[in-house]
Structure 1
């Protein structure tokens, strides 16, 4: 069973010559905008293999010399695959780490007694699973008194020097460009110190470590210490790191972006996959650095870029515009700017449709969706109980109004995203209802009300909710989802609550996807046998649930494909976005326009999810509420089409087709 198919989504076919140059001269040309040596791999797995090769080779060289190999390690999602591979090599290939000395890059502060931090995560993921001598493992202490921190930092640096300095330093990069826990504002000369962790870094670390409530500070190696390491690897995987990687690698050195200081290191390497490399010039705008292998999407990307650069609509671009901005190759291919302009204008025009389920009795040659069969059976998979209306609420309503049989499958309960005050509010209602209409005779309600009241009164910040409270929180979200479906005229019998098991840990950290998750999705697909499937394409979702849910759907489809399911032969799969990001226009294959009234109705659908308004714990780094960011993105897509010279709409929802691999 393939449960990682989302990692193989390739929206644009990137020519290997852009990321695997054949020689030093070609590499020099391609990387002219990059100020740190950057290795791009097709997948994280490929990158991890090569990084592990280098680390193991260095360790074994030191073993032959009878010396220690000193390694400084961070933690987080980017390093997890590397730790897994090193552990595998130890168990399967006998690679020994007995001569390795490990220094932890940072630790959260102050750590309460018994609470986990960075070092606990590092131990669980790597140190406890290999043969490193515990006496050779050192970490910053998150429990010491504050007045002792300064001396503790000095002694930690002294111990690193005792072992001859750091041979290899491996770390990830935060969304703010932080390395280790050096926040924006950290300068070149910073050494090991106590630092206040900003809200963004704290939230990201909480998700990566699976720890709900981290302390506000960290003791961290400074930029100066990091740059003293003889070899530095910075790892980043996934499209959510694409923007920050471009800034760190291509922008000027700045203390507002600590990772940019790696440009000053003489032996640092940035290791990324194609998704994380997506915004590097040689991948996103290859025509600026080399001759291109042109395809339809790359041409569309180039023309949209040129329009934005010159603030012109497509049909007003001239031969001069192409020649002066590195796109003369397209003139040679198509003969004139006019020919390219018309091609791309028509290409984009054909993505627009007011009939997302296909228009019956119409020529569908240039439409994104086929006309037949009509009506269609449609499943919209929603990772949380509100992603359907946040990301494609307008299209959902359009599908219902146009007569299709629309089902919504809510993949997780979403219970950890409900605040305690919501439970209290509902319990007050239930208790009051019991007093008014049952004369307080229902002993179960009275008892539960008292238990929950007492639990919340004594609940500490780090305490997990009981299973009963998580169940109530899940019921709250179910009720909101049903209300939204009723508002959108979807019969409640077509609302499916899948409650995938991977999610039900009660913590931020979720279990890996399992066959049980896939089987639940597969059973629904077999029951409905849809002609259309809509699935979340928000792979940059900061808490990871969207990706896991998408993998569950793709795995179920893959299993059905392997089983020769007849229904799948007449089914199209569309990926939506909207909660966290939007599709780049060069990738959009279906754009559904919304009128002002339809956009207002979409907002009303989102507002039915009252627990996810201002009190929702996972709004992420974006301070706007979900309905606000959704409207802004939909309006932004429509505005972009307008500026390119196409039809002007109030808003647009965008989709990309997924073809089973």
Structure 2
């Protein structure tokens, strides 16, 4: 069973020549705008394995000479795959960590003495508890220390690093503002270990660990820039396209305390290790025509011409030969013969992505339409990772499909229970209690006892406590009710509203279980039952460890098994990927875009608002202050504005899709 098919989706089909040059000369040409040595890998697994092998080799080299290997390690999701590779080497190859000393790069402050959620605990759970490191060789800032002792504590931490001979390898992630080890924007080059106030963005990112912003410590004791730069070797690691913008600024930008990661440019032995998604905004990947001759394909041509339009603020059909020549795109003139020919080609390509018939238009010529006319009506399954992703991501398209008489099913893959606040549970408990007092003539003691038990648990609940199964069940029921209301609003019969409750999600924690066979079989059973002509699936692949990615992998694995089994329904099925509230498909990748009128956009907003628990009180709104309906509308209007500025049809809003072709 293939459980990681989403990592093999490479939408732009980037030519290996841009990220894996054949010789030093080609590399010097491609990377001439890069100020940090950068290694790009096709997948994060490949990059993680390379770093793990380098660390393992350093440990072994030190062992041969009887010396210790000193590592400075970060927490978070970024290093997880590196740690997994090292654990595998320990168990299968006998790699010993007896000579390894670890320094925790940062610790949250303040922490309660019995705090479960700490960076050190995360490091232990992910890595240290699974290898033979001596616990006495693990050093960390103390997040529980008295505030007036912090200065002395930080000085002792610096002294301990010196006593062991300095750090051999530092493993860094990067925040969205360029912070490294919680050295926030404004950190100085000469900074050492100290207490620092978390930036609001970092604070929001950390809230994923603590289960909400209000529960997250506001500070961190962090290793300073100067201390990090004293390391013999540094790895800066990033996976996923949500890190693409900051990687470009860190690698190609000027050294500045506004982006602390740029200080790494002053270090003689730093390597940036990223996957193709995180490399997406680097010039050699995003705009290769600015640094080398290109292997032109339709998507790269579309990308280049749209870039040119935005650069000089012209619609496609007004571009001239001079525009191409003055902005590094003379190769396209040679390829097409003139600006006019190139303009017409790309204009027509983009025009043909627009359709008001996302299920295909019956009795129409579908030669240049993104969806085929037959069969009609179609059976459609929309997979929604959480119980609101369907309406947030493609609510307008869902209404179109229903109005055009297609048989629309919505499959909610997870319960979404951990994203419901405790106050929502209390609100529903008040209702249940009142209902029983008014209508329950028998005064059921079991119900009353359960009510008291849950209220008492919530009253005594501490930060880091996992909800009981009863509380999680109620939170899941809240989200089910909201999803059913939204489906009814969109005229989808409730017998086509499926709650899959995939087991991988049901941990009660932020960290989920790995994708398993049972998850895939649940999805596969639904596909076998419906035999859809269209499947819509989440394409948010930015976070290698996010729920959306796991849910997408579940669907793709089920489809792959059906393909291997020779399922006939797949011969007449197309799979479309949508994106959520935060990002849209790049225009060079869009293959179908559905216009939304002002009235349809208002109806989409109303369907999102049916999910009341996910409005202001949702624990995981993130660092974006806009509500989900606002994010969604801004994204949809932004897509429409892009098409409008390129000289295409002008609409209120648009929802975009990319087709997935099973491997």
Same fold (TM over 0.5): yes
- Other-structure match for 2:249: 247
Within a 5 Å distance, the mapping from 1:460-479 to structure 2 comes to 460-479=462-481
Matched, 1:352 2:354: yes
Contact 2:210–2:216 (Cα < 8 Å) also in 1 = no
Shift of 1:543: 7.7
- Other-structure match for 1:589: 591
- Other-structure match for 2:20: 20
Contact 2:120–2:140 (Cα < 8 Å) also in 1 = yes
TM-score normalised by the chain length of structure 2: 0.97
Shift of 1:223: 0.7
Shift of 1:445: 3.5
1:323-356 alpha-carbon deviations (Å, 9 max, x no partner)? 0000000000000000000000000000000000
CA distance in 2: counterparts of 1:628 and 1:333, whole angstroms: 42
- 1:323 aligns to what SS in structure 2? helix
- Other-structure match for 1:7: 7
CA distance in 1: counterparts of 2:146 and 2:68, whole angstroms: 32
Shift of 1:170: 1.0
Contact 2:205–2:623 (Cα < 8 Å) also in 1 = no
- Other-structure match for 2:160: 159
- 1:353 aligns to what SS in structure 2? coil
Shift of 1:541: 5.7
- 2:171 aligns to what SS in structure 1? strand
Shift of 1:94: 2.0
CA distance in 1: counterparts of 2:623 and 2:191, whole angstroms: 26
CA distance in 1: counterparts of 2:93 and 2:103, whole angstroms: 25
CA distance in 2: counterparts of 1:99 and 1:598, whole angstroms: 64
Matched, 1:509 2:511: yes
Contact 1:242–1:276 (Cα < 8 Å) also in 2 = yes
CA distance in 1: counterparts of 2:543 and 2:158, whole angstroms: 37
Contact 1:240–1:539 (Cα < 8 Å) also in 2 = no
Match of 1:420 among 417, 422, 426: 422
Rate the CA distance shift 1:352–1:58 in 2: closer, same or farther, 3 A. same
- Other-structure match for 1:497: 499
- Other-structure match for 2:39: 39
- 1:90 aligns to what SS in structure 2? helix
- Other-structure match for 2:363: 361
Contact 2:196–2:220 (Cα < 8 Å) also in 1 = yes
CA distance in 1: counterparts of 2:386 and 2:122, whole angstroms: 27
The worse-fitting range, judged by mean Cα deviation, of 37-46 and 361-370 is 37-46
Rate the CA distance shift 1:537–1:601 in 2: closer, same or farther, 3 A. same
Shift of 1:311: 0.5
- Other-structure match for 1:568: 570
Rate the CA distance shift 1:429–1:135 in 2: closer, same or farther, 3 A. closer
CA distance in 2: counterparts of 1:62 and 1:429, whole angstroms: 65
Shift of 1:448: 2.9
1:344-389 alpha-carbon deviations (Å, 9 max, x no partner)? 0000000000000001111111000011101000000001111101
Rate the CA distance shift 1:52–1:210 in 2: closer, same or farther, 3 A. farther
Matched, 1:635 2:637: yes
CA distance in 1: counterparts of 2:296 and 2:588, whole angstroms: 13
CA distance in 1: counterparts of 2:73 and 2:459, whole angstroms: 40
Within a 5 Å distance, the mapping from 1:277-356 to structure 2 comes to 277-356=279-358
- Other-structure match for 1:122: 123
Rate the CA distance shift 1:461–1:477 in 2: closer, same or farther, 3 A. same
CA distance in 2: counterparts of 1:251 and 1:600, whole angstroms: 41
- Other-structure match for 1:137: 138
Q: Where does the alignment leave 5 or more consecutive residues of structure 2 unmatched?
A: none
CA distance in 2: counterparts of 1:306 and 1:295, whole angstroms: 16
The worse-fitting range, judged by mean Cα deviation, of 585-594 and 22-31 is 22-31
CA distance in 2: counterparts of 1:583 and 1:208, whole angstroms: 28
- Other-structure match for 2:615: 613
The worse-fitting range, judged by mean Cα deviation, of 416-425 and 351-360 is 416-425
Shift of 1:507: 1.5
Rate the CA distance shift 1:383–1:487 in 2: closer, same or farther, 3 A. same
CA distance in 2: counterparts of 1:141 and 1:445, whole angstroms: 45
- Other-structure match for 2:195: 194
- Other-structure match for 1:59: 59
- Other-structure match for 1:482: 484
Contact 2:74–2:104 (Cα < 8 Å) also in 1 = yes
Rate the CA distance shift 1:270–1:505 in 2: closer, same or farther, 3 A. same
Contact 2:366–2:372 (Cα < 8 Å) also in 1 = yes
1:491-520 alpha-carbon deviations (Å, 9 max, x no partner)? 000000001111111111111111111110
- 1:447 aligns to what SS in structure 2? helix
- 1:513 aligns to what SS in structure 2? coil
- Other-structure match for 1:622: 624
CA distance in 2: counterparts of 1:464 and 1:61, whole angstroms: 43
Shift of 1:208: 6.3
CA distance in 2: counterparts of 1:424 and 1:64, whole angstroms: 61
1:608-628 alpha-carbon deviations (Å, 9 max, x no partner)? 111111111111111100000
The worse-fitting range, judged by mean Cα deviation, of 51-60 and 547-556 is 51-60
TM-score normalised by the chain length of structure 1: 0.97
Shift of 1:447: 2.8
Rate the CA distance shift 1:542–1:625 in 2: closer, same or farther, 3 A. farther
CA distance in 2: counterparts of 1:122 and 1:492, whole angstroms: 44
Contact 1:204–1:542 (Cα < 8 Å) also in 2 = no
Shift of 1:455: 2.6
Rate the CA distance shift 1:434–1:99 in 2: closer, same or farther, 3 A. closer
Shift of 1:462: 2.9
- Other-structure match for 1:185: 186
- 2:265 aligns to what SS in structure 1? helix
1:120-167 alpha-carbon deviations (Å, 9 max, x no partner)? 222222223223233322222222222211111111111111122111
- Other-structure match for 2:205: 204
Q: Where does the alignment leave 5 or more consecutive residues of structure 1 unmatched?
A: none
- 1:407 aligns to what SS in structure 2? strand
CA distance in 2: counterparts of 1:55 and 1:16, whole angstroms: 26
Contact 2:109–2:143 (Cα < 8 Å) also in 1 = yes
Shift of 1:211: 9.8
The worse-fitting range, judged by mean Cα deviation, of 613-622 and 493-502 is 613-622
- 1:276 aligns to what SS in structure 2? coil
Contact 1:207–1:509 (Cα < 8 Å) also in 2 = no
- 2:576 aligns to what SS in structure 1? strand
1:400-420 alpha-carbon deviations (Å, 9 max, x no partner)? 000100000001111111112
CA distance in 2: counterparts of 1:18 and 1:148, whole angstroms: 51
Rate the CA distance shift 1:500–1:336 in 2: closer, same or farther, 3 A. same
CA distance in 1: counterparts of 2:278 and 2:373, whole angstroms: 37
- Other-structure match for 1:645: 647
- 1:347 aligns to what SS in structure 2? helix
The worse-fitting range, judged by mean Cα deviation, of 373-382 and 55-64 is 55-64
CA distance in 2: counterparts of 1:516 and 1:209, whole angstroms: 29
1:92-132 alpha-carbon deviations (Å, 9 max, x no partner)? 12223322222111112222223231112222222232232
Contact 1:484–1:608 (Cα < 8 Å) also in 2 = yes
